[in-house]
């Protein structure tokens, strides 16, 4: 197959289900909302080694937020609701509660059977001075802090998200590969309901399952390392000197598929890109198979 003259391998990205939450953070200025977002979504690239995968979904105008202030929408993914609640309580407590002028709101519909308690756990920081308010059927906690009050919604909704969508951008040079990856990230992030959790949305250290070292769950994807061509069974054509991976998590499969397509389309417009492919584990890891051929034929 080809897209914009670039070879696309007839393969699939293998994605899997995770529990997801959307957190809306507001502040007196966009600067402080973004600062809270950066802190709260830090060290959240992969659940292989982090408590969650997280990222900035989009910046919000005052017209789009519950309290009419500038804000951001953040998405968090974990393997279970319990793990998601633990990660969110810790991250909101350490990175949003502590950030000047912020407030924190739920961004998903609430199903009582699938909800998690965030403000209801953080209220204890108020040391007995916290106040509960019920507005339009929603409970909020007002916790006194040194610049006023921290407002946080009591219960947050969760969704059955899809994580692990991915593409690999195979390029002649590091410069062309990175340019393609940057453009692909921008295109994918324009799709509502998705994040790309790695730094800047780009992964240089793609991994395979397992290692020669028994304690490691994952290790470098040697088949895609240009410096190992000739020493291992390489998947790289001649002339390739850089590969970048994009990992895409979303609130549903349709969002991940759309973001994958937009990323492919943007990446293949950059001169020097030789191939687009995707990572999978033979269909054994996750039930969601995002087939590159289907994305091309579906347009």
Encode pLDDT of 2-57 as tens digits.
Answer: 999 999 999 999 999 999 999 999 999 999 999 999 999 999 999 989 999 999 99
- Alpha-carbon span 188 to 146, nearest angstrom: 39
Q: Is the pLDDT of residue 209 over 90?
A: no
Q: Which residues contact 213 (CB under 8 A, 6 or more apart)?
A: 219
Q: Is the pLDDT of residue 299 over 70?
A: no
* 137 and 122 assigned to the same domain: yes
* 38 and 85 assigned to the same domain: yes
* 128 and 221 assigned to the same domain: no
* 153 and 180 assigned to the same domain: no
Question: Where is the domain boundary, 117, 143, 159?
Answer: 159
* 102 and 204 assigned to the same domain: no
Question: Where is the domain boundary, 127, 159, 191?
Answer: 159
Could you tell me if residue 190 is left (phi over 0), alpha (psi between -120 and 50 degrees) or otherwise beta? alpha
* 168 and 109 assigned to the same domain: no
What's the pLDDT at 282?
82
* 92 and 165 assigned to the same domain: no
* 214 and 283 assigned to the same domain: yes
The predicted model scores a pTM of 0.95
* 108 and 167 assigned to the same domain: no
Q: What number is the average pLDDT over the span 178-192?
A: 98
* 106 and 176 assigned to the same domain: no
Q: What number is the average pLDDT over the span 83-95?
A: 98
In this prediction, residue 283 has a pLDDT band, given cuts at 50, 70 and 90, of confident
pLDDT digits (tens, 9 = 90+) for 218-260: 899 999 999 999 999 999 999 999 999 999 999 999 999 999 9
What's the pLDDT at 202?
98
Burial readout 22-54 (b: 16 or more C-beta within 10 A, e: otherwise): bbbbbbeebebbbbbbeebbeebbbbeeebbbb
> CATH no. for residue 175?
3.30.70.520
* 182 and 109 assigned to the same domain: no
pLDDT digits (tens, 9 = 90+) for 42-87: 999 999 899 999 999 999 999 999 999 999 999 999 999 999 999 9
Question: Where is the domain boundary, 141, 159, 177?
Answer: 159
* 147 and 186 assigned to the same domain: no
Task: Report percent pLDDT > 70 for the chain.
Answer: 100
Number of domains in the chain: 2
In this prediction, residue 170 has a pLDDT band, given cuts at 50, 70 and 90, of very high
The residue range of the domain holding 105 is 19-159
């Amino acid at each position: 197959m080809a897209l914009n003259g670039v070879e696309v391998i007839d393969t699939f990205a293998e994605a899997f289900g995770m529990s997801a939450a959307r957190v809306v953070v507001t502040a007196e200025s966009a600067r402080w909302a973004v600062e809270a977002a950066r802190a709260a979504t830090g060290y959240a690239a992969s659940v292989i080694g982090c408590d969650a995968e997280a990222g900035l979904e989009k910046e919000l105008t005052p017209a789009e937020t519950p309290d009419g202030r500038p804000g951001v929408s953040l998405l968090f993914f974990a393997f279970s609701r319990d793990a998601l609640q633990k990660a969110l309580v810790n991250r909101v407590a350490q990175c949003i509660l502590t950030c000047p002028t912020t407030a924190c709101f739920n961004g998903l519909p609430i199903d009582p059977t699938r909800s998690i308690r965030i403000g209801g756990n953080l209220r204890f920081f108020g040391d007995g001075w916290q106040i509960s308010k019920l507005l339009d059927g929603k409970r909020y906690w007002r916790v006194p802090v040194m610049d006023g009050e921290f407002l946080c919604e009591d219960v947050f909704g969760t969704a059955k998200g899809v994580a692990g969508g991915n593409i690999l951008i195979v390029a002649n040079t590091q410069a062309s590969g990175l340019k393609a990856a940057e453009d692909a990230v921008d295109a994918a992030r324009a799709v509502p309901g998705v994040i790309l959790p790695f730094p800047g949305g780009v992964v240089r250290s793609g991994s395979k399952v397992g290692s020669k070292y028994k304690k490691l769950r994952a290790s470098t994807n040697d088949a895609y390392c240009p410096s190992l061509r000739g020493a291992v069974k390489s998947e790289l054509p001649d002339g390739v000197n850089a590969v970048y991976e994009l990992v895409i998590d979303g609130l549903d499969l349709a969002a991940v598929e759309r973001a994958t397509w937009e990323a492919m389309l943007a990446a293949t417009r950059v001169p020097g890109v030789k191939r687009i492919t995707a990572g999978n584990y033979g269909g054994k890891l996750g039930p969601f198979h995002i087939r590159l051929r289907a994305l091309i034929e579906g347009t």
